[in-house]
Amino acid sequence: MGRAVACALGELSASCVHILERDERRAQSLSHDLNSMGITAQCITPEQAQRELSQWHGVVNCSPIGHINHPGCPIDTAGLGAQHWVFDAVYIPAHTELLKAAQQAGAKTLSGVDLFVFQGVDAFRFFTHDRIATEQIDPHVIPLRTHYIEQLVSPSAQSKP
């Protein structure tokens, strides 16, 4: 997931993709691959992330940290502000610690639930070979997203290990 998101950020003209990865070998490999594709990327430490966060436009979490089985926050969020956007690929829970901190700081947020729903919509379109018109699918996307958010935020979902 992280590799695909990093490539997409580069294609969307991110000036630099900063990679914070616990496995240094994986981080170096991703950085090398992105740079060879013409996407500026560099590996950083948690300390560097904390110092530089205020200068970034956005933050993406593609790690399991924040998931119901891996609670916590992947970064120190003290530098987050209204100038940031934050995407957390984790969707259980729908509102991770990272997203809650970002919202409290006034940042724009995008939940992993959106990734989950729109991957499903795209897969449906792929497997039906676009035989079903977009106009028939689109009205169902927001209710589907709302349904999953409600299910993932319910007290019973929060207590599942």
User: E-assigned strands of 26-97?
Assistant: 41-43, 58-61, 85-88
Place of tokens 């991770």: 96
Per-residue pLDDT of the chain (161 residues; tens, 9 = 90+): 899 999 999 999 999 999 999 999 999 999 999 999 999 999 999 999 999 999 999 999 999 999 999 999 999 999 999 999 999 999 999 999 999 999 999 999 999 999 999 898 889 888 888 777 778 888 988 999 898 888 887 655 555 55
Domain spanning 2-112, CATH class:
alpha beta
Give the list of residues 6+ apart from residue 146 with CB closer than 8 angstroms, or none. Answer: none
Question: Given this model, what pLDDT does residue 133 score?
Answer: 77
Question: Given this model, what pLDDT does residue 155 score?
Answer: 59
Tokens of 81: 């502000």
Q: Which of left, alpha, beta for 109 (phi over 0: left; psi -120 to 50: alpha)?
A: beta
Question: Given this model, what pLDDT does residue 83 score?
Answer: 97
End-to-end CA distance of the chain: 23
Dist CA 62 CA 139 (whole Å): 29
Dist CA 66 CA 74 (whole Å): 7
Cα 109–Cα 22–Cα 18 angle in degrees, nearest 5:
50
Question: Given this model, what pLDDT does residue 39 score?
Answer: 96
Count the neighbouring beta carbons within 10 Å of the beta carbon of residue 144: 16
